[in-house]
Amino acid sequence: MARTPFRRQRDAARSARPADLALVTGLIAGWVPLGQIVGGLAFAIWPSWRFPWLVGLLMAIGLFALAPAARRMSALGRQAVESGTSNRLKHIIAAGIFMLWSVQFMAFMTWLPTYAEARFDLDLRSSTGAYLLPVLFVLMFNILTGWVLGRGVPLLSLLAGALVSQALVWALAPVLGGPWAIPALVLYGIGAGVAPACLFLLPHFIEGGRASAANFGILMVGRNLGSFVGPVLLPLLVDLRTLPPYELEWFLLVTTGAIAMTGILARLRRQGMSR
């Protein structure tokens, strides 16, 4: 069986020293912005949906060709460390946080090129540059967050701070324009880099560094559900015809919900440690 994302997380954890686990997880989190960068650059080269689609097809064929090697690698150390029911609620809450975060992130990134083109009168290539600006910060802060977490910075505090920074951007979005647009994109990109690096580490955090593929499976269900729902909800909740759109409080509410769930997870962890 080829390795799924949560199997890759588990196998990476087994290959890393405990001190390097957070950094390895931060590097793995970079697969999302790396894909966005490849897609964005492909579109900048040829601004048509057909070219990025073709690039994606060729890359998928390449991954299919590597599947036999992936199966051989995944055969190493198949013993799973399954968690008991005591931590199951924590994993579900972690998946819920990832789902809510993915809803607003994927909705925003799906809409950003079109919004930049309409709001700031940019051409297709320039709007792609606006799209890639926060993505570059996402990638940088994926890696930096892994390094910082490996040096003892509290994970849930860092995650909450990242979510708060993104909620602040959503709260101020209707009035941000002109010279404030670029700093807002940078701040959003920083938060969007810190948050997923923390989120991908949550199963190890909950299980004391011994998370199983099943633990990551729960997390990825939340992440993938949010990634699917976000772009679908965007045109239903936000009137994109107005500039700036004034229904963005929906995504402020979603991000605030993720902050609240992070607080619940922190409380459950404190209760568990006090027993």
**153 CB neighbour count, 10 Å cutoff:** 14
**Helix (H) or strand (E) run with residue 263 in it:** helix 249-274
What is the domain extent for residue 69?
A: 5-77+86-274
**Cβ contact 174:244 at 8 Å:** yes
Give the residue from 260, 240, 246, 218 showing the smallest Cα distance to 107: 240
Task: Tell me: pLDDT of 75 over 80.
Answer: no
How far separated are the first and last CA of the chain, in Å rounded? Answer: 40
**Each residue of 23-38: pLDDT tens digit?**
777 777 777 788 788 7
String of DSSP letters for 70-135: HHHHHTSS-------GGGHHHHHHHHHHHHHHHHHHHHHHHHHHHHHHHHH---HHHHHHHHHHHH
pLDDT (average), residues 175-181? 74
- The predicted structure's pLDDT at residue 70: 62
**Each residue of 32-63: pLDDT tens digit?**
788 788 777 777 777 777 777 787 788 788 87
Residue carrying structure tokens 């083109």 = 117
Mean pLDDT, all residues of the chain: 80
pLDDT (average), residues 119-139? 78
**Which domain CATH number covers 72?**
1.20.1250.20
- The predicted structure's pLDDT at residue 172: 86
Which amino acid is present at 163?
L
Domain count, the chain: 1
- The predicted structure's pLDDT at residue 66: 77
What's the pTM value of the predicted model, to 2 decimals? 0.78
Residue carrying structure tokens 């150390």 = 77
Q: How many residues does the chain have?
A: 275
Q: Which two tokens stand for residue 25?
A: 């997880």
